[in-house]
Amino acid sequence: KKKLKISGRQLLSVPPQVFGLDQLQVLEMSPERESCLRYRMELLPREIGRLRNLTCLYVDSNNLKKIPAEIGTLSCLERLTLSNNKLSSLPVEMGALQRLHSLHLANNSLTELPAALCQLRSLTFLDVSDNKIGRIPSSIRHLEKLETLLLLFNSLESLPEDVCVLRNLRTLWLGNNQIQSLPAGFGELVNLDWGYNYCSCNFEGNPLQSPPPEVCSRGPEGIRDYFLSLHRI
């Protein structure tokens, strides 16, 4: 079998027999989303590295506190869901997952965006909402294919100018942070449109002053004009 779902209200660990399924492509160990259950796994075993053909790994809504370095050997992995766990860090080896295009890390305990994530150049979707992230590294500029970046409910006070290099961004949610100003090049993100498509770019719950909300509501052109006027002054 190439797809396996393991379920159970009292799921505490991965059955060891799973690691012998070397042709496995999809492994799901998350409760059904509508069930509101949480499984109890605290550890993803190092043996996960044996499943070299995995393309999708779902382990959200557990009690995971650590991801083993062996995750970096899963070179075929395209989708990884780790939301609703207790992760405070990620192994640097995750930077080797060069086929990964979708990564879910919402509702964990991350205090910064791990540098390893900025090596994932194939990434198109990244959700790190509801963590404690206070800083975005300049290396985020390497995520050239990124289309969706969800950063709601963190501790961000600013964004680096490097975010403005991500010209493929279509959705950027920044609600409920502490952001007071946007980088000068923000208006170059022309695929975002806060004014005409509210779901595309969300700043609700931030003490935004520069540009003020009424300027941002005009979309990228209004934001560009605002910063140009500052330079003229």
Instruction: Give me the residue spans of the domains in the chain.
Output: 1-79+91-100, 110-232
Confidence check: pLDDT of 101 > 50: yes
Is the per-residue pLDDT at 36 higher than 50?
yes
Question: Is residue 35 scored above 60 in pLDDT?
Answer: no
Where b means 16+ CB within 10 Å and e means fewer, 181-200 reads: ebbbebbebeebbbbeeeeb
The residues, any chain, with a CB within 8 Å of residue 91's CB and separated by 6 or more, are 67, 68, 69, 71, 72, 116
Determine the topology of domain 1-79+91-100 in CATH.
3.80.10
Residue 127 has pLDDT above 60, yes or no: yes
Residue with tokens 């509508």: 34
Mean pLDDT score, 105-129:
96
| Domains 1-79+91-100 and 110-232 alike in fold | yes
Chain segment 152-189, per-residue pLDDT in tens: 999 999 999 999 999 999 999 999 999 999 999 998 99
Whether 38 shows a pLDDT value over 70: the answer reads no
pLDDT of residue 140: 96
In this prediction, residue 233 has a pLDDT band, given cuts at 50, 70 and 90, of low
Mean confidence (pLDDT) of the chain: 90
Q: What is the pLDDT of residue 13?
A: 83
Compute, in degrees rounded to 10, the torsion defined by CA atoms 111, 113, 116, 118: 180
pLDDT at 85 over 70: yes
d(CA 53, CA 131): 30
DSSP state at residue 107: S
Encoded tokens for 176: 């409920």
**Non-local CB neighbours of 233 within 8 Å, separated by 6+ positions:** none
CATH number of the structural domain 110-232: 3.80.10.10
Residue 69 is predicted with a pLDDT of 97
Q: Kindly state the percentage of the chain with pLDDT values over 70.
A: 92
* Rounded CA separation 113/111 (Å): 7
- Sequence-distant (6+) residues with CB within 8 A of 92 are 69, 114, 115, 116
75 and 50 Cβ atoms separated by less than 8 Å? no
Q: Find all residues with CB under 8 Å of 45, minimum gap 6, and list them.
A: 13, 14, 19, 68
- The pLDDT, as a whole number, for residue 223 is 87
Alpha-helical (H) ranges within the chain are: 213-216, 220-232
Are 82 and 60 in contact by the 8 Å Cβ rule? The answer is: yes
One DSSP character per residue, 161-225 reads: GGGGG-TT--EEE--SS---B--GGGGG-TT--TTT-TTTEE-TTS---BS-HHHHTT-HHHHHH
pLDDT digits (tens, 9 = 90+) for 15-34: 889 999 999 999 998 876 54
Q: Is the pLDDT of residue 232 over 80?
A: no
Q: Return the pLDDT at 83.
A: 95
In this predicted structure, the answer to whether residue 92 has a pLDDT above a threshold of 70 is yes
How is residue 186 written in tokens? 């923000």
The pLDDT assigned to 34 comes to 47
